[in-house]
Structure 1
Amino acid sequence: MRSAVFLPVLCAAFGLVRATPIPAVDDRLLYKIPAKESMDAFGAAFTSRCSTWEPALHGASLTFLQALVEPGDFSGNNADTEVKLVCAWSNDAGIQTFTADVAASLGATPVSASDSPFLLYAIPAGETMDDFLSAFTSTCTTWPAAEADPSIRFLGSVHELGDFSGNNADTEVRLLCTWLKTDGSDTVEFTADVAASLGATPV
Protein backbone atom coordinates (compact mmCIF):
# COMPACT_ATOMS: atom_id res chain seq x y z
CA MET A 1 0.00 0.00 0.00
CA ARG A 2 1.29 3.46 -0.86
CA SER A 3 0.11 6.88 0.25
CA ALA A 4 -0.13 9.82 -2.10
CA VAL A 5 0.15 13.36 -0.78
CA PHE A 6 -2.30 15.85 -2.24
CA LEU A 7 -1.74 19.61 -2.34
CA PRO A 8 -4.53 22.22 -2.28
CA VAL A 9 -4.60 24.51 -5.29
CA LEU A 10 -6.80 27.59 -5.43
CA CYS A 11 -8.76 28.05 -8.61
CA ALA A 12 -11.59 30.26 -9.76
CA ALA A 13 -14.80 28.53 -10.81
CA PHE A 14 -18.16 30.14 -11.42
CA GLY A 15 -16.88 33.30 -9.78
CA LEU A 16 -15.85 31.46 -6.61
CA VAL A 17 -12.43 30.57 -5.29
CA ARG A 18 -12.36 26.85 -4.55
CA ALA A 19 -9.75 24.48 -3.15
CA THR A 20 -9.15 21.65 -5.60
CA PRO A 21 -6.90 18.69 -4.69
CA ILE A 22 -4.38 17.67 -7.31
CA PRO A 23 -1.78 14.92 -6.98
CA ALA A 24 1.69 16.08 -5.99
CA VAL A 25 3.16 12.84 -7.32
CA ASP A 26 2.41 10.53 -10.23
CA ASP A 27 1.32 7.27 -8.60
CA ARG A 28 0.95 5.32 -11.84
CA LEU A 29 2.92 2.06 -11.85
CA LEU A 30 3.96 0.29 -15.05
CA TYR A 31 3.20 -3.42 -15.44
CA LYS A 32 3.35 -6.20 -17.99
CA ILE A 33 0.05 -8.05 -18.17
CA PRO A 34 0.09 -11.87 -17.95
CA ALA A 35 1.05 -13.68 -21.14
CA LYS A 36 -1.88 -14.64 -23.39
CA GLU A 37 -4.29 -12.31 -21.55
CA SER A 38 -5.86 -9.49 -23.53
CA MET A 39 -5.56 -5.91 -22.35
CA ASP A 40 -9.35 -5.60 -22.21
CA ALA A 41 -9.69 -8.68 -20.01
CA PHE A 42 -6.89 -7.57 -17.70
CA GLY A 43 -8.27 -4.04 -17.43
CA ALA A 44 -11.71 -5.32 -16.49
CA ALA A 45 -10.24 -7.67 -13.90
CA PHE A 46 -8.06 -4.93 -12.39
CA THR A 47 -10.96 -2.50 -12.14
CA SER A 48 -13.21 -5.08 -10.53
CA ARG A 49 -10.64 -6.26 -8.01
CA CYS A 50 -9.47 -2.76 -7.13
CA SER A 51 -13.01 -1.58 -6.41
CA THR A 52 -13.63 -4.57 -4.11
CA TRP A 53 -10.15 -4.94 -2.57
CA GLU A 54 -10.65 -6.32 0.94
CA PRO A 55 -7.87 -4.43 2.77
CA ALA A 56 -9.40 -1.22 1.42
CA LEU A 57 -12.99 -2.21 2.18
CA HIS A 58 -12.03 -2.80 5.79
CA GLY A 59 -9.60 0.10 6.02
CA ALA A 60 -9.89 3.35 7.94
CA SER A 61 -13.22 4.57 6.53
CA LEU A 62 -11.89 4.38 2.99
CA THR A 63 -14.02 5.14 -0.05
CA PHE A 64 -13.20 3.82 -3.52
CA LEU A 65 -11.75 6.62 -5.64
CA GLN A 66 -10.32 5.28 -8.90
CA ALA A 67 -9.10 2.27 -10.85
CA LEU A 68 -6.91 3.70 -13.61
CA VAL A 69 -5.88 1.49 -16.54
CA GLU A 70 -3.78 3.18 -19.25
CA PRO A 71 -2.41 0.79 -21.93
CA GLY A 72 1.20 1.33 -22.96
CA ASP A 73 4.36 2.47 -21.20
CA PHE A 74 5.10 6.09 -20.29
CA SER A 75 5.93 6.79 -23.94
CA GLY A 76 2.77 5.10 -25.21
CA ASN A 77 4.61 2.04 -26.55
CA ASN A 78 3.76 -1.67 -26.00
CA ALA A 79 0.06 -0.94 -25.61
CA ASP A 80 -0.85 -4.62 -26.02
CA THR A 81 1.47 -5.90 -23.29
CA GLU A 82 2.22 -3.08 -20.83
CA VAL A 83 -0.11 -0.89 -18.81
CA LYS A 84 0.04 1.97 -16.34
CA LEU A 85 -2.10 1.30 -13.27
CA VAL A 86 -3.47 3.05 -10.21
CA CYS A 87 -5.82 1.63 -7.59
CA ALA A 88 -6.78 4.48 -5.27
CA TRP A 89 -9.05 4.81 -2.25
CA SER A 90 -9.49 7.87 -0.05
CA ASN A 91 -10.59 9.15 3.34
CA ASP A 92 -10.37 12.46 5.17
CA ALA A 93 -6.62 11.96 5.64
CA GLY A 94 -5.94 11.72 1.90
CA ILE A 95 -5.33 9.08 -0.75
CA GLN A 96 -4.15 5.49 -0.28
CA THR A 97 -3.10 3.33 -3.22
CA PHE A 98 -3.23 -0.46 -3.43
CA THR A 99 -1.91 -0.74 -6.98
CA ALA A 100 0.99 -3.13 -6.41
CA ASP A 101 -1.03 -5.58 -4.32
CA VAL A 102 -3.97 -5.68 -6.74
CA ALA A 103 -1.72 -6.03 -9.79
CA ALA A 104 0.27 -8.83 -8.15
CA SER A 105 -2.91 -10.71 -7.27
CA LEU A 106 -3.75 -10.75 -11.00
CA GLY A 107 -0.32 -12.00 -12.06
CA ALA A 108 0.90 -8.73 -13.57
CA THR A 109 4.66 -8.11 -13.53
CA PRO A 110 6.14 -4.71 -12.66
CA VAL A 111 8.44 -3.41 -15.37
CA SER A 112 10.67 -2.03 -12.61
CA ALA A 113 11.76 -4.84 -10.30
CA SER A 114 12.08 -2.37 -7.42
CA ASP A 115 8.30 -1.88 -7.48
CA SER A 116 7.56 -5.59 -7.27
CA PRO A 117 6.04 -7.29 -4.22
CA PHE A 118 7.32 -10.58 -5.68
CA LEU A 119 10.52 -12.25 -4.47
CA LEU A 120 12.75 -13.99 -7.03
CA TYR A 121 14.00 -17.53 -6.34
CA ALA A 122 15.92 -20.31 -8.03
CA ILE A 123 14.17 -23.63 -7.47
CA PRO A 124 16.15 -26.59 -6.05
CA ALA A 125 18.38 -28.41 -8.54
CA GLY A 126 16.77 -31.53 -9.98
CA GLU A 127 13.21 -30.41 -9.18
CA THR A 128 10.75 -29.56 -11.92
CA MET A 129 9.04 -26.18 -11.90
CA ASP A 130 5.60 -27.83 -11.80
CA ASP A 131 6.52 -29.87 -8.72
CA PHE A 132 8.01 -26.86 -6.96
CA LEU A 133 5.01 -24.63 -7.65
CA SER A 134 2.60 -27.31 -6.47
CA ALA A 135 4.57 -27.61 -3.24
CA PHE A 136 4.79 -23.83 -2.81
CA THR A 137 1.05 -23.35 -3.20
CA SER A 138 0.24 -26.19 -0.82
CA THR A 139 2.75 -25.02 1.79
CA CYS A 140 1.65 -21.39 1.54
CA THR A 141 -2.02 -22.23 2.08
CA THR A 142 -1.22 -24.35 5.16
CA TRP A 143 1.77 -22.47 6.58
CA PRO A 144 1.84 -23.37 10.32
CA ALA A 145 2.80 -19.91 11.59
CA ALA A 146 -0.09 -18.41 9.65
CA GLU A 147 -2.64 -21.06 10.59
CA ALA A 148 -1.71 -20.64 14.25
CA ASP A 149 -2.55 -16.93 14.12
CA PRO A 150 -6.33 -16.42 14.42
CA SER A 151 -5.98 -12.79 13.35
CA ILE A 152 -5.13 -13.68 9.73
CA ARG A 153 -6.53 -15.85 6.95
CA PHE A 154 -5.18 -17.07 3.62
CA LEU A 155 -5.40 -14.57 0.75
CA GLY A 156 -3.36 -15.91 -2.14
CA SER A 157 -0.38 -17.76 -3.55
CA VAL A 158 0.89 -16.19 -6.78
CA HIS A 159 3.81 -17.04 -9.06
CA GLU A 160 5.33 -15.76 -12.29
CA LEU A 161 7.82 -17.91 -14.19
CA GLY A 162 11.29 -16.55 -14.88
CA ASP A 163 13.21 -13.58 -13.56
CA PHE A 164 11.98 -9.99 -13.77
CA SER A 165 12.75 -9.99 -17.50
CA GLY A 166 11.02 -13.33 -18.07
CA ASN A 167 14.26 -15.28 -18.54
CA ASN A 168 15.26 -18.62 -16.95
CA ALA A 169 11.65 -19.77 -16.74
CA ASP A 170 12.71 -23.38 -16.06
CA THR A 171 14.86 -22.55 -13.04
CA GLU A 172 13.74 -19.19 -11.58
CA VAL A 173 10.36 -17.97 -10.40
CA ARG A 174 8.84 -14.88 -8.78
CA LEU A 175 6.78 -15.81 -5.74
CA LEU A 176 4.23 -14.29 -3.39
CA CYS A 177 2.54 -15.93 -0.40
CA THR A 178 0.05 -13.59 1.24
CA TRP A 179 -2.35 -13.84 4.16
CA LEU A 180 -4.88 -11.19 5.15
CA LYS A 181 -5.71 -9.86 8.59
CA THR A 182 -9.26 -10.92 9.43
CA ASP A 183 -10.33 -7.31 9.86
CA GLY A 184 -9.06 -6.66 6.32
CA SER A 185 -6.74 -3.90 7.49
CA ASP A 186 -3.47 -5.24 6.07
CA THR A 187 -1.68 -8.18 4.46
CA VAL A 188 1.04 -10.41 5.90
CA GLU A 189 3.71 -11.97 3.67
CA PHE A 190 5.23 -15.42 4.24
CA THR A 191 6.96 -15.74 0.86
CA ALA A 192 10.54 -15.93 2.11
CA ASP A 193 9.76 -18.44 4.87
CA VAL A 194 7.75 -20.74 2.61
CA ALA A 195 10.32 -20.62 -0.20
CA ALA A 196 13.18 -21.35 2.21
CA SER A 197 11.33 -24.32 3.67
CA LEU A 198 11.20 -25.83 0.17
CA GLY A 199 14.91 -25.32 -0.51
CA ALA A 200 14.54 -22.43 -2.95
CA THR A 201 17.42 -19.96 -3.17
CA PRO A 202 16.84 -16.19 -3.34
CA VAL A 203 18.37 -14.67 -6.47
Structure 2
Amino acid sequence: MIAQTAVALARQRLPPRSVVSTITTEGGSAVNVIPARTRAAIEMRSPSLDGLRVIQRRVRACLEAGALATGCALELTPVGNDFADLRQDTSLSAFYRDAMISRGREVKVTDAAVASTDMGNVSHLVPSIHPLLGYDVGGGAALHTAAFTDHGTSPSSDRAVLDGAFGLALAAARAARDPAQRARLTRGAALRQGSPPER
Protein backbone atom coordinates (compact mmCIF):
# COMPACT_ATOMS: atom_id res chain seq x y z
CA MET A 1 0.00 0.00 0.00
CA ILE A 2 2.88 2.37 0.77
CA ALA A 3 4.45 1.70 -2.62
CA GLN A 4 1.13 2.11 -4.47
CA THR A 5 0.36 5.34 -2.64
CA ALA A 6 3.83 6.64 -3.47
CA VAL A 7 3.28 5.79 -7.16
CA ALA A 8 -0.08 7.57 -7.10
CA LEU A 9 1.46 10.68 -5.56
CA ALA A 10 4.40 10.59 -7.98
CA ARG A 11 2.14 10.74 -11.04
CA GLN A 12 1.95 14.55 -10.96
CA ARG A 13 5.75 14.73 -11.27
CA LEU A 14 6.06 12.29 -14.19
CA PRO A 15 6.62 13.42 -17.81
CA PRO A 16 3.47 14.37 -19.77
CA ARG A 17 1.37 11.46 -21.07
CA SER A 18 3.02 9.00 -18.69
CA VAL A 19 0.98 5.96 -17.70
CA VAL A 20 1.67 3.73 -14.70
CA SER A 21 -0.72 0.81 -14.14
CA THR A 22 -0.45 -1.57 -11.19
CA ILE A 23 -2.28 -4.65 -9.95
CA THR A 24 -1.68 -6.76 -6.86
CA THR A 25 -1.31 -10.36 -8.00
CA GLU A 26 -0.67 -11.88 -4.57
CA GLY A 27 -1.45 -10.24 -1.24
CA GLY A 28 -1.96 -12.90 1.40
CA SER A 29 -4.44 -15.68 2.10
CA ALA A 30 -6.03 -14.70 5.43
CA VAL A 31 -7.17 -11.33 6.77
CA ASN A 32 -5.61 -11.85 10.21
CA VAL A 33 -2.15 -12.95 8.99
CA ILE A 34 0.57 -10.64 7.72
CA PRO A 35 1.57 -12.19 4.40
CA ALA A 36 5.10 -13.52 4.09
CA ARG A 37 5.13 -12.50 0.43
CA THR A 38 3.20 -10.14 -1.80
CA ARG A 39 3.47 -9.64 -5.53
CA ALA A 40 2.45 -6.90 -7.91
CA ALA A 41 2.65 -6.31 -11.65
CA ILE A 42 3.44 -2.83 -12.96
CA GLU A 43 3.29 -1.51 -16.51
CA MET A 44 4.80 1.85 -17.47
CA ARG A 45 4.20 3.75 -20.70
CA SER A 46 5.67 6.92 -22.12
CA PRO A 47 5.76 8.62 -25.54
CA SER A 48 9.58 8.36 -25.54
CA LEU A 49 12.36 6.12 -24.25
CA ASP A 50 13.81 9.04 -22.27
CA GLY A 51 10.44 9.55 -20.57
CA LEU A 52 10.20 5.83 -19.87
CA ARG A 53 13.57 5.88 -18.11
CA VAL A 54 12.31 8.71 -15.86
CA ILE A 55 9.17 6.73 -14.99
CA GLN A 56 11.16 3.58 -14.29
CA ARG A 57 13.50 5.38 -11.88
CA ARG A 58 10.60 7.07 -10.06
CA VAL A 59 8.54 3.88 -9.74
CA ARG A 60 11.59 1.94 -8.53
CA ALA A 61 12.09 4.58 -5.81
CA CYS A 62 8.43 4.22 -4.77
CA LEU A 63 8.80 0.46 -4.46
CA GLU A 64 12.04 0.84 -2.50
CA ALA A 65 10.28 3.29 -0.16
CA GLY A 66 7.56 0.73 0.56
CA ALA A 67 10.13 -1.96 1.26
CA LEU A 68 12.18 0.34 3.49
CA ALA A 69 9.15 1.50 5.48
CA THR A 70 7.95 -2.05 6.16
CA GLY A 71 11.30 -3.80 6.58
CA CYS A 72 10.66 -6.04 3.60
CA ALA A 73 13.03 -7.34 0.95
CA LEU A 74 12.30 -6.12 -2.58
CA GLU A 75 12.87 -8.19 -5.70
CA LEU A 76 12.20 -6.66 -9.12
CA THR A 77 11.84 -8.93 -12.15
CA PRO A 78 11.66 -7.20 -15.56
CA VAL A 79 9.34 -8.92 -18.03
CA GLY A 80 10.15 -8.67 -21.73
CA ASN A 81 11.92 -5.71 -23.34
CA ASP A 82 11.23 -1.99 -23.33
CA PHE A 83 9.35 -0.69 -26.36
CA ALA A 84 10.75 2.37 -28.13
CA ASP A 85 8.64 5.26 -29.37
CA LEU A 86 7.02 4.85 -32.80
CA ARG A 87 8.47 6.81 -35.73
CA GLN A 88 6.16 6.64 -38.74
CA ASP A 89 7.58 7.35 -42.18
CA THR A 90 5.75 10.37 -43.62
CA SER A 91 5.84 9.30 -47.27
CA LEU A 92 4.81 5.70 -46.63
CA SER A 93 2.00 6.98 -44.41
CA ALA A 94 0.76 9.25 -47.22
CA PHE A 95 0.85 6.37 -49.71
CA TYR A 96 -1.10 4.18 -47.30
CA ARG A 97 -3.63 6.92 -46.65
CA ASP A 98 -4.24 7.36 -50.39
CA ALA A 99 -4.72 3.62 -50.82
CA MET A 100 -7.23 3.43 -48.00
CA ILE A 101 -9.16 6.44 -49.23
CA SER A 102 -9.54 4.57 -52.54
CA ARG A 103 -11.17 1.78 -50.49
CA GLY A 104 -13.59 4.26 -48.94
CA ARG A 105 -11.92 4.33 -45.54
CA GLU A 106 -10.83 7.16 -43.29
CA VAL A 107 -7.31 6.67 -41.99
CA LYS A 108 -5.57 7.74 -38.81
CA VAL A 109 -1.78 7.61 -38.87
CA THR A 110 -0.13 9.03 -35.77
CA ASP A 111 3.10 8.81 -33.81
CA ALA A 112 1.16 9.08 -30.57
CA ALA A 113 1.64 6.19 -28.17
CA VAL A 114 -1.61 4.27 -28.50
CA ALA A 115 -0.48 0.72 -27.79
CA SER A 116 2.36 -1.37 -26.45
CA THR A 117 4.19 -2.82 -29.42
CA ASP A 118 7.74 -3.53 -30.51
CA MET A 119 6.88 -1.77 -33.78
CA GLY A 120 8.49 1.30 -32.23
CA ASN A 121 11.78 -0.57 -31.97
CA VAL A 122 11.43 -1.69 -35.60
CA SER A 123 10.72 1.88 -36.72
CA HIS A 124 14.07 3.02 -35.31
CA LEU A 125 15.80 0.56 -37.64
CA VAL A 126 13.84 0.69 -40.88
CA PRO A 127 11.26 3.10 -42.40
CA SER A 128 7.92 1.95 -41.02
CA ILE A 129 4.25 2.67 -40.64
CA HIS A 130 1.78 1.39 -38.06
CA PRO A 131 -1.65 2.75 -39.04
CA LEU A 132 -4.85 2.11 -37.14
CA LEU A 133 -7.77 0.38 -38.81
CA GLY A 134 -11.16 -0.26 -37.27
CA TYR A 135 -14.22 -2.41 -37.84
CA ASP A 136 -17.84 -2.41 -36.72
CA VAL A 137 -18.27 -3.55 -33.12
CA GLY A 138 -22.03 -3.23 -32.98
CA GLY A 139 -22.91 -0.48 -30.55
CA GLY A 140 -19.43 0.59 -29.52
CA ALA A 141 -17.97 -2.29 -27.55
CA ALA A 142 -14.90 -1.16 -25.65
CA LEU A 143 -11.43 -2.45 -26.55
CA HIS A 144 -10.12 -5.52 -24.68
CA THR A 145 -13.58 -6.73 -23.67
CA ALA A 146 -15.44 -9.95 -24.44
CA ALA A 147 -18.01 -7.96 -26.44
CA PHE A 148 -15.24 -6.52 -28.62
CA THR A 149 -13.77 -9.99 -29.16
CA ASP A 150 -17.15 -11.31 -30.32
CA HIS A 151 -16.98 -8.99 -33.34
CA GLY A 152 -13.47 -10.15 -34.32
CA THR A 153 -14.85 -12.79 -36.67
CA SER A 154 -17.50 -10.62 -38.30
CA PRO A 155 -17.67 -9.71 -42.00
CA SER A 156 -16.65 -6.17 -41.01
CA SER A 157 -13.47 -7.42 -39.34
CA ASP A 158 -12.66 -9.63 -42.34
CA ARG A 159 -13.06 -6.60 -44.59
CA ALA A 160 -10.72 -4.61 -42.35
CA VAL A 161 -8.01 -7.28 -42.71
CA LEU A 162 -8.33 -7.27 -46.50
CA ASP A 163 -8.39 -3.47 -46.70
CA GLY A 164 -5.35 -3.21 -44.44
CA ALA A 165 -3.41 -5.73 -46.53
CA PHE A 166 -4.36 -3.86 -49.69
CA GLY A 167 -3.22 -0.54 -48.21
CA LEU A 168 0.14 -1.89 -47.08
CA ALA A 169 0.79 -3.62 -50.41
CA LEU A 170 -0.13 -0.54 -52.44
CA ALA A 171 2.00 1.75 -50.25
CA ALA A 172 5.00 -0.56 -50.72
CA ALA A 173 4.38 -0.80 -54.48
CA ARG A 174 4.15 2.97 -54.83
CA ALA A 175 7.41 3.44 -52.95
CA ALA A 176 9.12 0.75 -55.02
CA ARG A 177 8.02 2.34 -58.29
CA ASP A 178 9.28 5.80 -57.31
CA PRO A 179 13.08 5.93 -57.87
CA ALA A 180 13.60 8.74 -55.34
CA GLN A 181 11.53 7.02 -52.63
CA ARG A 182 13.13 3.65 -53.34
CA ALA A 183 16.61 5.15 -53.00
CA ARG A 184 15.66 7.05 -49.83
CA LEU A 185 14.12 4.04 -48.14
CA THR A 186 16.89 1.58 -49.01
CA ARG A 187 19.58 4.12 -48.10
CA GLY A 188 17.89 4.84 -44.77
CA ALA A 189 17.60 1.13 -43.97
CA ALA A 190 21.26 0.56 -44.80
CA LEU A 191 22.38 3.44 -42.56
CA ARG A 192 20.38 2.10 -39.64
CA GLN A 193 21.80 -1.41 -39.76
CA GLY A 194 23.95 -2.18 -36.77
CA SER A 195 22.53 0.62 -34.60
CA PRO A 196 19.45 -0.73 -32.82
CA PRO A 197 17.68 1.51 -30.28
CA GLU A 198 18.35 1.11 -26.61
CA ARG A 199 16.11 -1.62 -25.23
User: Could you tell me the TM-score, scaled by structure 2's length?
Assistant: 0.31
Relative to its length, the structure with more helix (as a share) is: 2
Q: Which has the larger share of strand?
A: 1
